[in-house]
Each structure stands twice: as C-alpha cells, then as structure tokens.
C-alpha cells in the first residue's frame, strides 16, 4: 500500500507561499528559551591558579549534573566548574526540552546494539528520569517541568505498519486526533516516560543548585590543555586566564573539540533548527485539543518534534539535519532561511487550523552526533580524567546518567552503570574529511529518499544498518 503513495504527507499537502511569508513575517533570529530567562546570574572569569578535588569542564547539563551529583555524593570535596562562554548557552539552553528516560536514543537503537542488556538500560533510564524529577521537587528547580509523556505519531501508511509490528499499544487515528488534532495523523503511541522542561531555565537552575551546594563556577574560562604528573599525580588543566590543578577531571564539552585528541573524531556537529510561535489564543488552543500537553514527534527518518511552552506557544523543530564540511561549530550555520521556510510550511500542513499564527523566534544548534547515536564514555590519564559526549540530540535526560557514570569511574567504583557494555565499549569514530562529509550527505539523502518512498531503505542504508551505523528515528 505504502509503495503506491509517492512523496511524504508534506509534499502531498502544498502550503500557500503567502501563508508561510505571513507566518515568518517579523520572526527574530534568537533562541526563545534564552531570551525568556528573567535573570541570568553571571559568574566570574578564572584569573588565578586554583587547586581542587574535582574539575568539571563545560557548563551544559552534563557538566552541571556532574558538579551537582559530586557534591551530593561527597559534600566536603572541592568542586570547580569552568565554562568557556556562559552557562547553558549551547545545546543545553536551546533544545526542544524533551527530557526522555531513554539513555540509548530510543528503544530500537538500544535493543539493536545491546539486546542482552536492554532491559537493564531501560530500568536505569527510568530511574534516572525519576531522579531528575526528585531533584526538581526537592530543590524546587524552577524549570517548567511537566511529566506529560510523548505522543509518537504515524503520518505515513508505512509508519502505521511499523507501529503495529512494534507490539506497542497503538492508538487509531481518531483516538490520536482526540489528543492533538492534526489531519496528518494516521495512528500513534504514547510513551509515558518523557517529561518536558524549559531548557534554559533547567540549565540556570542547575547552576544555582550547584553554587548553593558549594561548587565554584567560572564563566568565560576556556580550557585549552590538559596533562598529568606520573601515574597518579594531579592533573593540570590550563585555561586562557588561569590554571587548575585537580585530583580528578570530568570533561563535559559535548560537540566542541575535546581536550583529549583521541576523542575528537567521535562526534560531528549536525545542525538542528527550530521555530517558536507566538502564544496561542484560547480559541487556537481549543482547535488543537492538546489538553494533556504531550510532547509530539512524528516517525519519519527526518522527523519533527513539537510541544507547548508554559505560556502556550508551540515549539516546532527538526526535519533538516545539516552537516557542514569540516565539522565546525559556527554561529553562521544557524542562519538558514530555506530550512525555516520548510519548517513553517510543514507546521501549516500539520495544523492548517492555525493559519494566521506567526512565529516569534527561529534558531538552531549543533547536535553532538556519534556513530551509535547515544553517549560514549572515555577515560584518560590512568582513570583520573573522564569524558562523555555523543548524545545525538537526546541528552536532556541522559546527561544526568552520564554524569553518574563519570563520577563512578573517577572514584574507581564498580557499579551497575560502569559494568554496562554501553559504558565499557567505545563506538567507531567518524572518518576524516572528505570521507565524513560524503558519508553523512549520502546518508541524509538516502534517509530523505526512504521517507519519500514508503520507508524503503536503499542499499547504502541497509549496509549501514548491517554495520550498526544505520539510523531510523
């Protein structure tokens, strides 16, 4: 059946160019979440030499959770965190805010890579989300946390077949449309183990909690080098303005070049784009239903994710995932008018009842993509340095789990986390340019083509699948 339907629902549902023009008229090129922060406390630049028990490099969620949990585990130890720019300015401040229990980038990816350990990975992921929720409640983190669950929607006939084959409890089209009303929905599944947060508020609040627990935070402090004395001596991290001597170091620098050369090829930045609407009126909201306020994702390879904010805006992101030759992170890559227009057109095709609504913000960010689509955990200097990155766009929740892994390892502990194959084994690195670029662009083209051909994967994608490098959302 699917093979007879050409294109995707978006190519079959043309949207009037004037409606897209109107929707984007006056849109600001800025991240809504960061602009929405009432106050962003500033932290000083490190301008001296400092000695500490634990140094954390990177002030996104991974670094902040590492600092917070380190103090919770051992309040007496000295913990210093250095951030090159501002706390939460990068992925952690500008993401979709879907805080999922999954630490494996979804069940399919986890089961295909670690079939024997998947049940444990799922249990640990749910416990991690519960621990995030408990922290939010205990310390009253003001981050618009809502445990809404996520609605995964099939918008093509072949996706309905995939849903039925998965064994999940499938909601038929009318049941899905009673939850959120779009003419594009053919079926859906509800995942209860997902919460929504205000991303930038979560980063700000974690920094507040860390500081309250005694963590010393420095912003505008870029670490530039790392080396260590002997097998067990202190580790020295140089910054542009100071030097830190630490017994242990946790590197939480995500998509940015690692201080450890050996891990630089393990991630590539892939740009993801998002739009935010103005607040919906009561009538516009009523036209959607959406009383459960679930996060929503469609099931294409190139998928959209969307959700409501606390003040009833809709964040609409995803679809285009753009890699630029040379694997650099550059603000210029965030400006991509053709992608914002495509996203706006897909939004209007999904919710035609919202024609006339405008977008207030558009922005982008770099996804720390790894070849296994979930985090890897490296080590250096005889176990005195731990490094985690590679969340591939699902790190809001998983970053806390990664923090626990780094702290377990830095303490030399043998735990259920450190025993996981996912933790013990490293994924393949990406190849150097130009092979990386050719491979990534070919994969993107093939995924787009599969979405347009009833989900059928070509020989290239089947080869990647066989090598454990294939991707399906």
Ligand X SMILES: Cc1cc2nc3c(=O)[nH]c(=O)nc-3n(C[C@H](O)[C@H](O)[C@H](O)COP(=O)(O)OP(=O)(O)OC[C@H]3O[C@@H](n4cnc5c(N)ncnc54)[C@H](O)[C@@H]3O)c2cc1C
- Ramachandran assignment for 454, one of left (phi > 0), alpha (psi -120 to 50 degrees), beta (any other): left
140, burial (CB in 10 Å: exposed 0-12, middle 13-18, buried 19+)? exposed
**Beta-strand pair 385-389/28-29:** unpaired
Q: Which residues bind ligand X (CB under 6 A)?
A: 57-63, 82-85, 89-92, 94-98, 100, 222-223, 252-256, 272, 274, 365-368, 391, 393-397, 399
CB of 144 to ligand X, least distance (A): 13
Closer to ligand X by CB, 163 or 259: give it. Answer: 259
Phi first, then psi, for residue 39 (nearest 5°) are -135, 140
Q: Which residue reads 């629902």 in tokens?
A: 9
What is the maximal distance between C-alpha atoms in the chain?
Answer: 68
Q: Name which of 397 and 470 has its Cβ closer to ligand X.
A: 397
- Give the integer Cα–Cα distance in Å for 61 and 202: 8
Work out whether strand 376-380 and strand 304-308 pair parallel, antiparallel, or are unpaired. Answer: unpaired
Closer by beta carbon to ligand X, 177 or else 472:
472
Cα-to-chain-centroid distance, residue 239: 27
* Count of CB atoms situated within 10 Å of the CB of 268: 25
Measured from the CB atom, the residue of 57 and 171 that comes closer to ligand X is 57
CB-nearer residue toward ligand X: 112 or 238: 238
State the pairing for strand pair 235-239/376-380: unpaired
259 close to 65: Cβ distance less than 8 angstroms: no
CB of 95 to ligand X, least distance (A): 3
Burial (CB count <10 Å: 0-12, 13-18, 19+), residue 143: buried
Smaller CB separation from ligand X, 160 or 252? 252
Nearest-CA neighbor of 250 among 87, 381, 76, 92? 381
- Residue 118 beta carbon to ligand X: minimum distance, rounded to whole angstroms: 19
Which residue number, 241 or 458, has a Cβ lying nearer to ligand X?
241
Of 160 and 302, the one with the shorter C-beta distance to ligand X is 302
Q: Which is nearer to ligand X, 92 or 301 (CB)?
A: 92
CB of 452 to ligand X, least distance (A): 24
Rank residues 370 and 437 by Cβ distance to ligand X and give the closer one.
370
> Is the Cβ of residue 400 or residue 457 nearer to ligand X in the bound state?
400
Min separation Cβ 116 and ligand X, Å: 25
CA distance 468 to 322: 21
Q: How far is the CB of 87 from ligand X (least distance, A)?
A: 7
Q: Nearest distance from residue 278's CB to ligand X, in Å? A: 20
Instruction: Enter the tokens of residue 427.
Output: 């994924």
Please state, in angstroms and rounded to a whole number, the distance separating the CA atoms of residues 290 and 271.
29
CA dihedral sign of residues 284, 289, 292, 296: negative
Task: Estimate the share of the chain in helix, then strand, then coil, as percent rounded to the nearest 5.
Answer: 35, 25, 40
Q: Give the whole-angstrom CA distance, residue 450 versus residue 323.
A: 19
CB of 356: closest distance to ligand X in angstroms? 26
Q: What are phi and psi of 93, to 5 degrees?
A: -95, -10
CA distance 29 to 17: 20
First to last CA, the chain: 22
Cα 211 versus chain centre, distance: 24
Least distance to ligand X from the beta carbon of 86, Å?
A: 8
CB of 70 to ligand X, least distance (A): 15
What is the DSSP code (8-state) at residue 146? B
Q: Least distance in Å: CB of 94 to ligand X?
A: 6
């Amino acid at each position: 059946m699917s093979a007879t339907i050409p294109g995707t629902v978006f190519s079959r549902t043309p949207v009037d160019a004037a409606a897209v023009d109107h929707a984007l008229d006056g849109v600001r090129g800025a991240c809504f979440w960061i602009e929405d922060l009432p106050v962003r406390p500033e932290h000083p630049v490190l301008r001296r030499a400092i000695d500490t028990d634990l140094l954390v490099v990177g002030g996104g969620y991974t670094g902040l959770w590492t600092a917070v949990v380190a103090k919770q585990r051992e309040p007496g130890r000295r913990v210093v965190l250095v951030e090159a720019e501002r706390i939460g300015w990068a992925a952690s401040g500008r993401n979709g805010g879907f805080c999922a229990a999954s630490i494996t980038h979804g069940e399919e990816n986890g089961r295909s890579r670690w079939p024997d350990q998947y049940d444990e990975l799922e249990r640990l992921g749910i416990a991690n989300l519960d621990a995030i929720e408990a922290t939010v409640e205990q310390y009253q983190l003001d981050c618009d946390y809502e445990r809404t669950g996520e609605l995964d929607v099939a918008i093509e006939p072949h996706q309905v077949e995939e849903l039925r084959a998965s064994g999940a409890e499938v909601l038929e089209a009318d049941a899905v449309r009673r939850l959120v009303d779009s003419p594009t929905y053919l079926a859906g599944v509800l995942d209860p183990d997902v919460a929504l947060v205000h991303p930038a508020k979560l980063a700000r609040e974690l920094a507040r909690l860390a500081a309250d627990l005694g963590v010393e935070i420095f912003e505008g402090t870029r670490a530039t080098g790392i080396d260590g004395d002997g097998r067990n001596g202190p580790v020295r991290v140089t910054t542009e303005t100071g030097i830190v001597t630490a017994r242990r170091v946790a590197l939480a620098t995500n998509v940015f070049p690692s201080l450890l050369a050996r891990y630089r090829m393990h991630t590539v930045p892939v740009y993801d784009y998002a739009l935010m609407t103005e607040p919906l009126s009561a009538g516009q909201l009523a036209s959607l239903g959406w009383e459960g306020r679930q996060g929503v994702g469609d099931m294409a390879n190139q998928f959209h994710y969307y959700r409501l904010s606390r003040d009833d805006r809709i964040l609409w992101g995803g679809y285009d995932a753009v890699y630029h030759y040379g694997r650099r992170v550059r603000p210029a890559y965030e400006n991509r008018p053709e992608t914002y227009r495509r996203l706006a057109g897909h939004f209007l095709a999904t919710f035609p009842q919202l024609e006339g609504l405008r977008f207030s913000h558009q922005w982008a960010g770099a996804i720390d993509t790894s070849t296994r689509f979930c985090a890897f955990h490296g080590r250096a200097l005889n176990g005195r340095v731990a490094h985690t990155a590679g969340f591939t766009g699902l790190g809001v929740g998983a970053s806390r789990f990664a923090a626990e892994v780094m702290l377990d390892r830095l303490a030399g502990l043998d735990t259920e986390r450190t025993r996981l194959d996912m933790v013990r084994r490293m994924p393949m690195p990406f190849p150097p340019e130009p092979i990386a670029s050719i491979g990534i662009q070919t994969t993107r083209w093939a995924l787009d083509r599969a979405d347009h051909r009833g989900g059928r994967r070509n020989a290239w994608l089947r080869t990647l699948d066989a090598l454990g490098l294939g991707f399906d959302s």
